[in-house]
Structures are given as C-alpha cells and as structure tokens.
C-alpha cells in the first residue's frame, strides 16, 4: 500500500520510452507565439502581461548588468510554473518531483552565477567567504563554513522544490484515498474529508506558484551577489 503512494513519482514509460521529455515540452505549447497582427486575442494579451509582470519583479533587485539574464530567468519561471500547475491535474506526471531534474536546473545556473562573479569581480566574490572584522583565530573556521554554505546552495534549491511538491502530492493522494474509503462507511466524515481535500488542492496551487517563484528569485539573488 505504501509503495503505491510513490508510484506517481516514477517516470512513465510507453513502449519502453520514457515520457518525461514530452511532459517537459508540453508547457511550451501553452506559451504565446509571436503573430503578424498588432492586436492579439485576450488570452495572448493576458499571458504577455503576466510575463512582463514577472520580468519586472525579477529584474527590480538587479542592476543593469543583470538585465542580460532577463530572458533566461523569465523563461525558467514560466517553465517551472507551467510544469508545477499541470502536474496537479489528474493522471499527470510532475517532472519537478524528480530531484535529478531539479538539480540539473539548479547546479548549472548556480555555477554560472558563481563563474560570472569570479570573472568580473574576483576579489569581491572571494571576499564573501570572509566577513569583515573577523577575529584572526576564527578565520579558518569561517572560511570553511562559508565555503560549505556556498556549495550547499544548489542542493538546497533542488531539494526545496522537490520536497515541497512531493509532500503536497502525497497529502492529496492520502486524503483522496481516505475520502473514497470512508464514503460507504461514514458519508458525513467523507464529505468533511472532501472539503479538506478541496482546501488542500487550492493550497497546493499556491505552493506550486510560490515554489517556482522562490527558485528563480534565489537564483536572481545569487546573481546579484556576483555582478
């Protein structure tokens, strides 16, 4: 019984072919494509307004040098947001519940921000490892602590996104299973459980949006430290 709860996180296969790649490409079909008309339909207008709002929020903390990352960061947050929300639909697979995929997104982007800082301002980037005014006996220990915290950043990015989405999906499945099981025995309790399930689903929609925003926001803050 416990194993079946985690079956939803295994990669689906069709004729021996993993379907994770089509699930990653599907959100791209929902994004607006450029047209030849000056005025598009209402859906495209809302999507473009939403993308502009996200870009503005992400670029506000960054200086002018960081605006080169606008396209990458905006594309990433729209990608994560689409995958997280589509994964809440019934009989779907959520690729962002896979730690390997989240680490594949977090590690290269974190490394890119780090290398950007080491190339543009090496003294300032290395200066983050040792706070100003540190007593001499504590210098080796603080350098080791700061270095460890620096290399833990991509792991924290990937694990945070994976853990939050996995926990939410497990709670939804557990409560929905309890609702169906209690329906023939205690209908009133089953209705109450269904209401809790509805509230939890609304909460998970918010969590899916917040986690995508937090993932990209932390990357933008790492970038701000290195430019």
Q: How far apart are CA 217 and CA 71, in angstroms?
A: 14
61-71 residue pLDDT tens: 777 877 888 88
| 8 lies in some domain | no
**CA neighbor of 80 nearest in space, from 199, 183, 208:** 208
| 74 lies in some domain | yes
What is the DSSP-derived secondary structure letter of residue 131? -
Q: Where are the alpha helices (DSSP H) in the chain?
A: 2-5, 20-25, 42-59, 70-86, 99-120, 122-127, 139-182, 187-225
Q: How far apart are CA 224 and CA 227, in angstroms?
A: 6
146-164 residue pLDDT tens: 888 888 999 999 999 999 9
Q: List the structure tokens of 53.
A: 């709002």
Find where tokens 């803050």 sit.
Answer: 221
| 72 lies in some domain | yes
| 212 lies in some domain | yes
| 3 lies in some domain | no
| 4 lies in some domain | no
CB-CB contact of 65 with 121 (8 Å): no
Whether residue 122 has pLDDT greater than 90:
no
Q: List the structure tokens of 84.
A: 């997280």
Contacts of 62 (CB under 8 A, 6+ apart): 69, 220, 223, 224, 227
More confident site: 223 or 26: 223
Q: Report the number of distinct structural domains present in the chain.
A: 1
Phi-psi region of 55 (alpha: psi -120 to 50; beta: other; left: phi over 0): alpha
DSSP labels for 154-187?
A: HHHHHHHHHHHHHHHHHHHHHHHHHHHHHTTT-H
Question: What residue numbers bound the domain in which 132 lies?
Answer: 17-226
Of 1-5, 54-58, 194-198, the poorest mean pLDDT is in 1-5
Q: List the structure tokens of 14.
A: 């069709």
| 21 lies in some domain | yes
76-103 residue pLDDT tens: 998 898 889 888 888 788 888 888 889 9
| 2 lies in some domain | no
């Amino acid at each position: 019984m416990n194993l079946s709860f985690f079956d939803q996180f295994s990669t689906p296969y069709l004729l021996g072919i993993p379907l994770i790649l089509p699930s990653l490409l599907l959100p791209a079909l929902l994004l607006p494509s450029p047209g030849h008309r000056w005025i598009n339909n209402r859906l495209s207008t809302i999507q473009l307004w939403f993308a502009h709002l996200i870009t503005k929020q992400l670029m506000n903390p960054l200086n002018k040098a960081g605006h080169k990352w606008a396209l990458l960061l905006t594309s990433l947050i729209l990608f994560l947001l689409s995958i997280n929300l589509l994964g809440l639909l019934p009989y779907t697979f959520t690729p962002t519940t896979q730690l390997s995929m989240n680490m594949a997104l977090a590690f290269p982007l974190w490394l890119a921000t780090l290398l950007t800082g080491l190339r543009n301002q090496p003294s300032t980037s290395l200066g983050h490892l040792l706070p100003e005014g540190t007593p001499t006996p504590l210098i080796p220990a603080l350098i080791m602590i700061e270095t460890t915290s620096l290399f833990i950043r991509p792991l924290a990015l990937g694990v945070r996104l994976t853990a939050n989405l996995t926990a939410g999906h497990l709670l939804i499945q557990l409560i929905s299973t309890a609702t169906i099981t209690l329906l023939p025995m205690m209908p009133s309790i089953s209705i109450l459980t269904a209401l809790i399930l509805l509230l939890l689903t609304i909460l998970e929609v918010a969590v899916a949006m917040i986690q995508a925003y937090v993932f990209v926001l932390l990357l933008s803050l790492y970038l701000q430290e290195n430019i």
